[in-house]
Structure formats: C-alpha cells, structure tokens
Amino acid sequence: MGVRHAVVTGGGIGGLTAAVALSRRGWRVTVCERAPVLTGVGAGIVLAPNALRALDSIGLGPEVWAGDTLPGPVGLRTPDGTWLSRSDSAAVSTRHGPATRAVHRGFLIDALAAALPPGVVRLGVSVTGVDDTGGVVVVRTSAGDLRADAVVAADGMRSVLRGQLFPRHPGLRHAGEAGWRAVLPRSGPPPRHAAETWGRGERFGVVPLVDGRIYVYATAVTGPGGRPADHHAELTRRFGAWHDPIPALLDRLNQHAPDPVGILHHDFHELAPPLPRFHAGRVALLGDAAHAMTPNLGQGGCQAIEDAVVVAHLLAHHTDVPAALAAYTKARHRRTTRIGRRSRRVGELARLSHPLAASIRNLAVRATPRAATSRALDTVIGWQPPPAPAPAHTPGEVHATTDVKEQP
C-alpha cells in the first residue's frame, strides 16, 4: 500500500495538530485554510497537562514551551479579592505531570506550522463539501477538487462539513454569555496569581503568558448579538471597582488597545445536543466542529489537541479508514460530552446574579476541600495520549496495543 493522503480542513490548533500527528505517522497531508495567512485568532490559551502530554506524544515536547509556568496560587476570587478556592500550580504539576503553560494562540499556531513539512498548508483555500461515495473521498475546494483516503474536518464551530454530514442536527446553541479577550504587552512584573474572579453574573480572568505578556478576559450574562458601542468603557463600568490588579490592567488596556478592534468580543456557543458520532465514512470531525463547548473549563483547545493525536494514531494503525474513524468516535465521544457538560454546569454557577444565590454559591465553593477539587480534575487533566507508534505490521493486522479505549 502506498503513502496514504489526508486532507485536513482548517488551519487552527486542532487541524494543525492533526496534520503534524498524521505526517509524523507516515501520512501525506494537505491542510486547506481559507484565511490568507495562518493566524492565532483569539488571545491566550492555557495548555493543561493533558494537552501538553498529547503534544509531547507527537514530538512537540518541553523544549517548545520554554518559559514560566502559571505562578503561585491559581483559583477563584470574589470582587473584593477574597479567595474562594486556590491550588498551588507546583502541586498540580506534581500530581498531574507537565506544568501548565499559558501561551498566545499565535505562538502555538506558529509552533505547529513549523513542525510541518513544506507545502502542506494551502492558504486561501476553502472547503465547500466532500463526496465520499467512490473509492476515495473527493474534497471540493475553492481551488479545485482534492482526492484523499481520509478527511479530518477541523473547520470550527460553524463547520461546513458538519452541516453536510449531519444536516438534521440543530447546531449551535447560545450559552447565555458573551466574553471579551485581550493580551497586554509585557510591562513591569507580571501578576503574582493566575485567577478568575466571580461576581454576580460577571467574571474577570487574569493569566500571565509564558512570554511575559498578560492574557485578560471577562464575561457577562447577555442575549445573542449584543455588542457594546465602547468595549473599554463597558469593561471599566463592570469591573473597574474590583480588586487589584484588575483596575490597573483595564487602564493598561485603554492605553494599549483603545480601539475596539484590539479587544475581541464574542458570544458563547456550544454544540447541543451532542452529535450522534464524530465521523461519517471516511470523514472525521475534530475540535469545535465535533463538540464545540463553552470556555468555562479552559478545555476547548485542549480537547481539540487530544482529538488530533487520537485520530492520527488510529488512522496510522488501521488500514480500514471507516473502522479507524469509528474507533475514534468510540474513544472521544463520551469524554468530550462529559467535559462539555461539566463546562456548562460551571457556566451556570458563574452566571448566578441574584445576591442570595451568588452568596450560597460562594460559600459552597469555599467549603469544598482542596483534595476534592483536585480529584475532580483528575478525569479532565489526567488523560494520557495513545502509546508511541508500534513496530511495522502486516497490512490489515491491528495490534492490540494500538487500540484507544474510550476514556472518562
């Protein structure tokens, strides 16, 4: 059997991770990205231990993520600065493995793109559909048709291919919130803590990035489509009286990003109900295309990275592509559904705006033992990637060690 060809639709984090993983397992890969350049659209991303282990399994290990880990206590606070819960990042690293890193999305995109062979990424090429009725998959693109043995659809939460494969699914559901994101340049000592502060129906997060910049984000309860005329004024109105260093960060945001373009604003959506499966024939859905979730656990990008290494592992060890992708659904569907559901529940708690309800919530969070919180994280960030590539074997034979079991 000759070298097999995979087309990956979408040059975001999940798509590029899949491309790296497949190319390092012997596949020829073409990435179709509709944008004219690869960009880390967004701001920061927290790479939790599960994502770092997945990246390490495809050769993107600790040397890529040089820089500071999350500093000191990490946890939840109230607007007056009181800690509701906190954990030491070093203790989390001891329990779960690689120390969490927070990086700019652009940095991650660049690292993934640099790990690909030349010519893999085709920019300015959009995918409009697939035809999986013949001996190979025909991928319809704006630059002409491509023929592939498998397609990995990583084309985001508004996935074109998801709509083709599952036309009866209702699609995205608004999650009742909107968010702001921005990255501040390095200036003076970074914050001593990475924390999210919960008010009544509002949140503000501060995350130091490995390069010294600061990722800030905020959320508020809102209906779909709402957009303030002046983002900075709205943020100051909502959060300007909260604990340090939030007021100072808002001042810096005004200095460095007074134009609304410098502050990203978006509604939160999730894919609900879940898709019945993450594949159809020789096409697999990955990341937001498969299981768009709210950002409340910080696991959207991490789950896309997990998806990518799992689908590449299974495609590398199964000569029957539909069977490999059926195994991919089995390995990923329950886990991502559970994480998406947990993220939704966290969002429901964070959105509480009635004073009594918010007070009861805060008391409950404060009363939860740290050990219980740590155990609850085990099933999320304790995930392990598939084993390293097995020795070459006879076509059609699948070694028992290559199976990826459905994980909690």
Q: What is the mean pLDDT of each successive set of 10 residues along the chain, which is 408 residues long?
A: 93 97 97 91 87 95 74 87 84 72 92 96 97 95 98 97 97 96 84 91 94 93 88 95 95 67 87 97 98 96 98 96 98 98 96 96 93 84 80 38 52
What DSSP string describes 217-249? EEEEE--TT---S-HHHHHHHHHTTSSTTHHHH
The amino acid sitting at 357 is: A
Do residues 306 and 385 make contact, with C-beta atoms less than 8 angstroms apart? Answer: yes
The residue among 251, 273, 181 whose CA lies nearest residue 219 is 181
Measure Cα distances from 323 to 84, 130, 166, 296 in Å: 47, 19, 19, 33
- Give the integer Cα–Cα distance in Å for 84 and 76: 5
The amino acid sitting at 52 is: L
In this structure, the dihedral spanned by the alpha carbons of residues 49, 88, 360 and 217, taken in order and rounded to 10 degrees, is -60
The amino acid sitting at 119 is: G
Do residues 309 and 17 make contact, with C-beta atoms less than 8 angstroms apart? Answer: yes
Q: Most distant CA pair in the chain: distance in Å?
A: 66
pLDDT at 397: 37
pLDDT at 68: 65
- Give the integer Cα–Cα distance in Å for 366 and 286: 36
> Taken in order 183, 184, 190, 191, is the CA torsion positive or negative?
negative
> Taken in order 399, 400, 401, 402, is the CA torsion positive or negative?
positive
- Give the integer Cα–Cα distance in Å for 136 and 345: 42
Measure Cα distances from 402 to 5, 191, 317, 384 in Å: 20, 44, 7, 14
Helix (H, G, I), strand (E, B) or coil at 338: helix
217, two tokens: 């984000």
What DSSP string describes 127-192? EEEEE-SSSSEEEEETT--EEESEEEE---TT-HHHHHH-TTS--EEEEEEEEEEEEEPP-SSPPS
DSSP 370: H
pLDDT at 196: 96
Number of H helices, E strands in the chain: 12, 18
Q: Which domains does the chain have, with CATH numbers?
A: 5-172+270-387 (3.50.50.60)
- Give the integer Cα–Cα distance in Å for 307 and 329: 10
279, two tokens: 């594949």
- Cis-peptide into 273, omega within 30 deg: yes
pLDDT at 401: 36
Do residues 20 and 165 make contact, with C-beta atoms less than 8 angstroms apart? Answer: no
Contacts of 24 (CB under 8 A, 6+ apart): 58, 59, 312
- Give the pairing of strands 5-9 and 146-148: unpaired
| 125-130 contact pairs (CB < 8 A, 24+) | 125/32, 125/33, 125/34, 126/32, 126/34, 127/7, 127/9, 127/32, 127/34, 127/155, 127/160, 127/161, 128/160, 129/160, 129/161, 129/164, 130/161, 130/164, 130/283
